[in-house]
Structure 1
Amino acid sequence: MENIALAKKISYHPGETNNRGEVIIEPCFPGYGITLSNSLRRVLLSSLTGAAPVGIVIEGVSHEFMTLPHLKEDILEFILNVKQLRLKMFTDEPVILNLEVHGKKTIKASDIEKNPLVEIANPDLELGSITDMAGKLKAQIYVEKGMGYVTIESREKKQNIVNYIEMDSIFTPVISVGIKIENVRVGKMTNWDKIVLDIKTDGTIEPKDAFNESVKILINQFKALNPDFKEEEKADPEEEIKESEDVAEEEVAVEKKRRGRPKNS
């Protein structure tokens, strides 16, 4: 079988901000620019692990269609703002973030109590506004790790938390992936492909690291499709019969103990 040439050069070019960068892959065998770039883009947008709010408890609020005294936004709008928090978690366990503010002020993500297990990538995000010195807001924001987009309906409900309001969660740390395929020369041929991936993240992961993670995911998936992978050893039929007989004997013994020994005739 003729081998298809592999790309020989992968370079990374940082963008103007830390959350944007270009990955250039070249030269790719003719037609493989689209094949590879589409696969990478799909994984980048759907399969990387991230962190996001999954629910909230607000003091004095029992459901999302209420209002809170002196809070400019209604609760639904406030929750929509909370969903925009971009988080980086250093644990696989769920974490509760505490938010407590008093007096007239604009509530920002930076007002959330610091937690060593969670880093907020957008601390300047405005969550709401308290319009009077008598106003206050106290909330617990539940955050978890996950992948992709998870709806309320697909998540296990937390029945034991009073006034817990669930929310849909966007875990993916990659915001957008632009693809550009250009022609490059290889020897006398000019139809080889050059892939330019423009990756933009939410700031919780660098574009280069996101690219590396997506490559690892694809490699693991294709390993499972490799026809040379070692199949699981099949059990010896005689051993299976012997195990079945042993189990049957155990079941009979247990049944005799449960019913008691039969009387002699």
Structure 2
Amino acid sequence: MIIMEDTILLPKHPVISEGAENEATFTIEGLHPGYGITLGNALKRVLHSSLPGAAITGVMIEKVNHEFSTLEGVLEDVLTILLNLKQVRFRMFSNNPETVSIHVSGERKLTAKDIKCSSNVEVVNPDSHIATLTESSSTFVAELTIERGVGYVSRDVLRHEKVQASVMTLDAIFTPVRKVRYEVEHMRVGTATNYDRLRLSIQTDKSITPKEAFLSAVGILKDQLKQLESFGEVDIFEQQPEVVSGEGFTKEGGSKDTEEIDAMQTRVEDLKLSSRTVNALTKANIYTVENIVGKTADELLDHEGIGEKALTEIQRAIGNLGIILKQEE
């Protein structure tokens, strides 16, 4: 008589086989049949899309108004220079945008090591080529905006943020992971020969180590799954809470309860917004949730420093309180 297994065995601890400084392979053995692809695909997606990093989001070059320009005494055109700047990788120790600068002259090659950074920013690939100055009278002066983010953000999204006319926005590749590859093969566990061995290879941009990337991805997956263990205090068959509208600050029922009033008095600093968005709201004399929901989305976008990205952040923050913006009439 064959006794069927009714439990899923846990895999062995990962074994790291390091290659270059920014490359490593993680081997996980003893995975339940089929779990090699399940975990490998999940980890690969998280590594590519969900790890935070830093990238250049805006460039302002002296005597340049658009990316299709050329610079006298510089071999590369501006478009090529921008593409080269996208390859420069940074390590940031601040959550706020940072401005770094370049100011060089003379016949020489311009590389990432020529970028003058504050104490909150570090260039991790200083040998990355940016431009070639071909004459002794050549000069290159620029300011770069460095920001932290997650995954990839296109320049079209960044353009919605209000920036100076002379600033050229770049597609921002925030993820610190360059390549991820995994393979699955069968292995023997006891008498069974259909268990999985997962090999996951990670290459980073050197701003973090492959081990840090792996552990971050595992932590993200664990946090997401942990949230699914509880369905919350409200039963799914109970009536869902009504959404508070900015129009008059009342629920559909018409009465204001204490919790709603408290939510309206929440200060913008307590909404877990980015410093950039908080500063923009404060500058617009918007200090509480009540001030926010008294405005429509278009009215918020009219304020300096509030673009589509900031608007989405604001809507998500007040949405967590069960509140929405004032609707267009």
Smaller-chain TM-score bracket: 0.7 to 0.9
Runs of at least 4 residues off by over 3 Å: 156-160, 232-235, 240-243
Matches within 5 A, 1:39-188: 39-155=42-158, 157-188=160-191
Question: In percent, how many aligned pairs have the same letter?
Answer: 40
- In the superposition, the TM-score normalised over structure 2's length comes to 0.69
1:30 to 24, 30, 33: 33
* Residues in 1 aligned to 2:54 and 2:45: alpha-carbon distance in whole angstroms: 19
1:12 aligns with 2:34: no
Quick check: 2:181–2:201 contact (8 Å CA) kept in 1?
yes
Is 1:244 aligned to residue 246 of structure 2? Answer: no
Greater strand content = 1
Q: Deviation of residue 207 (structure 1)?
A: 0.5
| Residues 101-146 of structure 1, C-alpha deviations (whole Å, 9 max, x = no match) | 0111000000111321111111001100010011101000111011
Rounded to whole Å, the distance in 2 between the matches of 1:26 and 1:150 is: 36
The CA distance in 2 between the partners of 1:34 and 1:230, in whole Å, is: 31
What amino acid does structure 1 have at the position aligned with 2:100? L
In the TM superposition, what whole-angstrom CA distance separates every residue of 1:61-90 from its partner, at most 9, and x where no partner exists? 111111111011111111110011111111
Greater relative CO (CA pairs within 8 A, separation 6+): 1
> CA distance change for structure 1 residues 95 and 245 in 2, over 3 Å: closer, same or farther?
closer
- In 2, the alpha carbon distance for the partners of 1:210 and 1:246 equals 46
Q: Give the CA deviation at 1:197.
A: 0.5
Q: Using a 3 Å threshold, how does the CA distance of structure 1 residues 126 and 242 change in structure 2: closer, same or farther?
A: closer
Query: Is there any run of 5+ residues in structure 1 with no aligned partner, and where?
Result: 248-265
Q: Which residue of 1 aligns with 2:219?
A: 216
Q: 1:143 and 1:241, CA in 2 relative to 1: closer, same or farther beyond 3 A? A: closer
- Residues 158 and 169, structure 2, Cα contact 8 Å, conserved in 1: no
Give the superposition deviation at 1:33.
0.6
Q: 5+ residue gaps in structure 2?
A: 242-250, 259-329
Q: Which letter does structure 2 place at the counterpart of 1:88?
A: R
Q: Is 1:37–1:195's contact at 8 Å kept on the other side of the alignment?
A: yes
Change in 2 beyond 3 A, CA 1:30/1:243: same
The aligned residue for residue 261 of structure 1 is none
Partners of 2:234 and 2:173 in 1: CA distance? 37
**Partner residue of 1:189?**
192
In the TM superposition, residue 8 of structure 1 has moved relative to its aligned partner by: 2.5
Structure 1 residue 241: deviation in Å?
Answer: 11
Q: Name which of 198, 203, 208 aligns with 1:200.
A: 203
Farther-moved stretch of structure 1 (20-29 vs 150-159)? 150-159
Greater C-alpha Rg: 1
CA distance in 1, matches of 2:256, 2:93: 50
Classify the secondary structure of the residue corresponding to 1:9: coil
RMSD: 2.4
When normalised by structure 1's length, the TM-score is 0.85
* Number of residue equivalences: 243
